[in-house]
Each structure stands twice: as structure tokens, then as C-alpha cells.
Structure 1
Amino acid sequence: MSDEALQPPMLTPPEPVAPVAASDAIGKVPVPADERATLDDHATRFARDLTSLAPESEEYAKRVKALEALGNAEITRSASVANRMLDRPTRAMATLGEGAPVAKTLLDLRGTVERLDPSHQGDLFSPKKLLGVLPFGNKLRDYFRGYESSQSHLNAIIESLRRGKDELLRDNAAIEQEKVTMWALMGELEKHGYLARAIGDAVEREIETIQLNNPERARALQEEVLFAARQKQQDIATQLAVNVQGYMALDLIKRNNAELVKGVDRATTTTVAALKTAITVAQAVANQKLVLDQIDAMKSTTSNLILSTSQILRQNATRIQEGATSATIDVDKLKEAFANVRATIDGMADYRIKALSSMEQTVNTLGDEVGKAKAYLETRRELAG
């Protein structure tokens, strides 16, 4: 397994939020055309009414104060929301820092995966040696024991990452709600900002109309009403810039969190699966090596059996061929036996011939003796008679 397969997932953070100028913030939440027409009409009537009122009158002062208070409630509310939103980047940086739980857990997972990576263990099939000389233990068996002992730690890391993922998802849900609230407030501020600008423009037109006939009146309107309108327009634009930047910052945090969630998903699925695949392959290869070693041993034994059998067959076949091509009885001995038989027959023939003479002499002798015996017996009978 390659080192790349065990590297932690690479996350691509969004670009940082650029500062938003007050002038650029205007119009981020467009005011509908029908509402713009209503606001323009309201601004025109407001400017005309102010122009007709005496500067020292209570109604005039009331109208100026109303202009000065335009959008203050929304500015206060949006400032509170903006403060909450802008506080999130600080907490987000703590969440994404090196010592943060999710980041620390990801580093811990990376260290564990690299430690358990079979490709970092050297040759697992080579014999383990004590002091580099004496055979001692089994590297592959020791590796799998190490994996088994690290399994509970690996499971704890994965569980911690899942808890971190749940926290990120909860943060994103809260951020989305803050964005909805901020968007609504930005819409109200856009309307107030549009109205302040429209009032200022209408007051300017009124000032131009009365400038020649009543310059003091025009100056008072310029200092009190037009200044208040332009200042309110600037205040609202500034607050809108803060809100827009806060809104964009929230979106940045949300995207960062989404990337982290993807990273956690990859870490708990792809990376861990890759590690388990590598371990499974190592175990399978170990089993294959064991089987191959046994097969090699069987092949060696079988080859030796075949060789020894062939040698026996060769030796026996040679003896069989020798036995088949040679006489059953030794010819020389057979000749000697026949010579002995002939000698025996000849000896027996000679014996018979020699025995005839001896037997003839014996018969003759016996005949003489029998004749003598008969004569003796007759003599005795005569004497007795």
C-alpha cells in the first residue's frame, strides 16, 4: 500500500472574507421596486412637510428627531447579531487550531494509521532476530498483535471524530439560523438606508428651491435636516457593511465546518478502510506465503519420492532385464551336472560289467559249496540209515 493512501484527507478552506466598504454594502439586499416607490413618496412628503414647518416649532423638532432615530432599533439589533456572528470566527479558530479537539484527534488518527501501516514495518516475512543475530520471534505475528492492541485506541479516535462532526453540524445549523435573522435585519436596514438617502435627496431639492428666497431657512434645513439624513445614511451604510462582512464570515465558517465534516467522513471511512484493507492484504499475503511454503515443501517431497521411485524402478528393471536375458541355470554348472550324470551312468555300466564277473565267480563258488553240502548230507543220511 502506498504512503499516499494513508495520508490524512486534504481539506480546501474557502478564501478569507475581504473587508466590505460601507459604499459596497448598500444594495446587497435589494429593496423591491414597489417598496422603493413607496419610500420615495414618503421621503418627498417628509421633506415637503419639514420645509413648511417653522424651525422653532415642536413638530419640526419632532420630525428631525424621528429622522435621527430612523433605523436605530434595527441597528442595535443587527449590531447584537453581528457581535454574535463575529464572535464565531474566534471560536472557529480555536476549533480549527492545532490544539483543538477535532484537529488533535485527526493528528492522533494520522499517527496511529502511520504506525499501523504495514508498509512502514519493513519486511514482515523476514525472521526476527535477537541482537540482529539470533532468530527470535516472528515479526508478522508481532505486527498483528500490535494492531489488536491498538484497535480500541483506533475505535476511540473514530468515536471522538464522530462527536466532533456532530458538534460541527450543530454549529452549522445555528449559523444558518443566525444568517436568516441577519438577512432579515439587513433587509430592514436597506429600506431605512434607502429612505434616509431619499429624504436627503428630497431635502436637497427643497433647499435648492428656497435658497434664493430664504437663504437662512435653506441653511437651517441644510445644517439640521440634510446633515441628519446624510449622517443617518452613513450610519446605516456602516452598519450594513459590518453586517455584510459578518454574514460573509458566517458563510465562511459554515463552509469551513462543512469541509471539516467531509474530512471527518473521509478519515472515518476512506482512511480507516484503507488501513484495514492494507492489514487484510498483509494477513492474506501471510496466509498465501504459508500455503506456498507448504506447497513448496510438498513439491520437494513429491519430487524426492518420484526420484527415489524412479531409481528403484531403474535398478529393478536392470535386474529384470538381466534375469530375462540370462539362462535360468548356469550353463557351466549344467554342463558339469550332465558330465556327472554321464560319469555316473558310465560308472554304473562299468560296475555292472565288473559285477558280472564277480557274480559269476560267486555263483560258481556257491554251486561248489552247495554240491559239497549235498554230498555231506547224503553221506550223513547213509550213515544214519
Structure 2
Amino acid sequence: MSENGITTAGGAHGGSGEALRPHAEVAFAHELAALAAADDRPRPERWRLSPWAVATYLLGGTLADGTVITPKYVGPRRIVEVAVTTLATDRALLLLGVPGTAKTWMSEHLAAAVSGDSTLLVQGTAGTPEEAIRYGWNYARLLAQGPSVDALVPGPVMRAMAQGMTARVEELTRIPADVQDTLITLLSEKTLPIPELGQEVQAVHGFNLIATANDRDRGVNDLSSALRRRFNTVVLPLPATPEDEVDIVARRVAQIGSSLRLPPAPQGMEEIRRVVTVFRELRDGVTTDGRTKLKSPSGTLSTAEAISVVTSGLALATHFGDGVLRPGDVAAGILGAVVRDPAADRVVWQEYLETVVRERDGWKDFYRACREVGA
């Protein structure tokens, strides 16, 4: 790491404790090393682990030497197996799902396990240019020397092709359609032409690409049929059960809290279960017991938002309370997550408070806290 804190692509800070959010290959380096040492199965060319070991890294397990591999993804095993198998072929992988279904999280960990580097990343936005996917130029050298290899600035995808690595494209459907289509030749022919130099970069074995897309963004920049055919699509579902979602939230809050130097909060699981219950009931439009139909707010109320609400509550309890996570610490965060449309969503929230929360045993403190922040 340089004195100004900048690290090169694929590099890492001096230790996982220095970076606020270490890359997956740094944060879980000990697990990846243990898997590599124990992995005696066939590996595709330039893969750090076999497909079996990659799936074990994602889903968790215990190795023969007693090393515990923590789950990175809680969900159907078959989804992970299909995703990993896709990367072992010449087909690119598209992870599709509603917000908060761990698309980016899975993408990062797949790249870390397969290539040992999750940083070859293109972040999709409405302003993403073609150069971000292909290559750009060092304009000082370009003006001085004209087009040359030295003036070329390869993008993450070009580097992945040349090195046999896994590239990532986040939020593919947010990228303008004409920029998206630069991927078609790249994925079908496995080559990236550089017409200015009369050259091309051909992908070597080990190269593949993982893209993520939010299926609520349909109509923003829909993928062309030609581009969609270049991908195997894996749809990531919302957590199947409340227990799964509570487990996901608890694990991620513990990881984030550790990086923020927040101490574990006593009684935190009770509030995590409460947040997950509220989000699932409003998301599903029915109470857990199935007896009461509910209106759903305009927001997604995703697992990622539940993690954010609990993490914020943990920070409140630590810095402005006694360290015990209580209803008052999560009430404001829940209100902010639910009420996105001040008019319609506030009505939905008030009805839920009065018809469900107010009457639920053991939720009196939560009801009062929600009334106070919503007053």
C-alpha cells in the first residue's frame, strides 16, 4: 500500500483490519487457502479452486482438517452449483433478482474463489461509457505518440481476457443499450478488437464474465436478445424462510459491525427477528400467521435494507445508548425503509402499526418507539 492509501487493481491493503471493507479474497484469505490446500479435485485452467471447492466456499462446510468455511450465501445449493458450473464453461453468467438478493455479494465471492481477484469490476450506471468495458487511452501519450500499445489503458474486462480471470459487470441493465452491446462480440468470439492498432486481444482459458441485473429495472435498458443469449441466467430468490433471512442478517451485521469496531449487542437477535418479521409481512402483504391481509409499501424492503437498519441500530445503541440493541434503536431505520413515498407509504405504515404491531404480544415497546419517531 502506498503512502496515500491507493492500492493497485487486484492489490490489497496491508491487512484486512486497515480497509473499511476488505475485498472478499482478503477478508476470507484463510478460508480460501485452506480450501486450496485440501482441494484435490480437477480444476479448470487458471482456476484457483475446483468447482466443488468454489461451491463449498460459497455455501460453507467443515474441511477434513477441521477448518470451518463460513457460508457466504444462504439459499438453494442448486443455484450455486449452476452458477459455478456456468463459469466453468464458455458461457457468461447473469445473476438476476430483486434488490437485496445478494447478487453483488455472490458475484464478488465467485470471482474471489475462481480467480483470487474480485476487483476486475465495471460498475454500470446510465453514464457508463464504452471505454469502461473495452479500453481507454492515456491522452498525454496519445497526443505525443499517436495510437500505441503504451498509450492504451486496458479496462477490467480486457485485463481479465488477457490474464484468464473473471471480470464483473454490476447493474448491467443500467448501462445504455449501445454500450451493453459491446459485450456481444467479446462474449461470442472471445476477442476484443483494437481497430486503432490493427490488433486484438483474445481471451485465454480461465476468462469469464459475471453480470448482475435488478429484475425490477426492466424497461430501463432491457438486454437485447442477442446479448441475453450470451448469458446463462441464474435467478436469485429472496430468502425462503424467516429463519434463513434472520441468519443472513445476523451474519452480515456481525461482519459489518466488526469492521466498524462496534461491539456485539446483547439481545440483538430479538430485534433482528423483529425487523425481518416487519419486512417480510409488509413485503408479502400478509401477516406471518396468514390471518391479516396487508397493503405493501412502494419500497422493496429487501434483506440488504434489513441489514442496514440493524447495523444503524447497533451504532445507535453503541454510541448513544447502553450497548443493548432495543426497539427504539431500529424504529427510525424501519420507518425510513418503509416510508419512501411520504403520502401513500405513510398510510400503509400507520395501518400496519395500529392493526398488527399494537396488538402483538411483546411488541409494546416497539409500538411506542415507532409512534414516537413517526409523530
TM-score class, shorter: under 0.3
Q: Which of the two has greater helix per residue? A: 1
Highest CA radius of gyration, 1 or 2? 1
Q: Which has the higher strand share?
A: 2
Query: TM-score scaled to structure 2, two decimals?
Result: 0.18
Q: Which has the higher contact order (CA 8 A, sep 6+)?
A: 1
TM-score by length of 1: 0.18
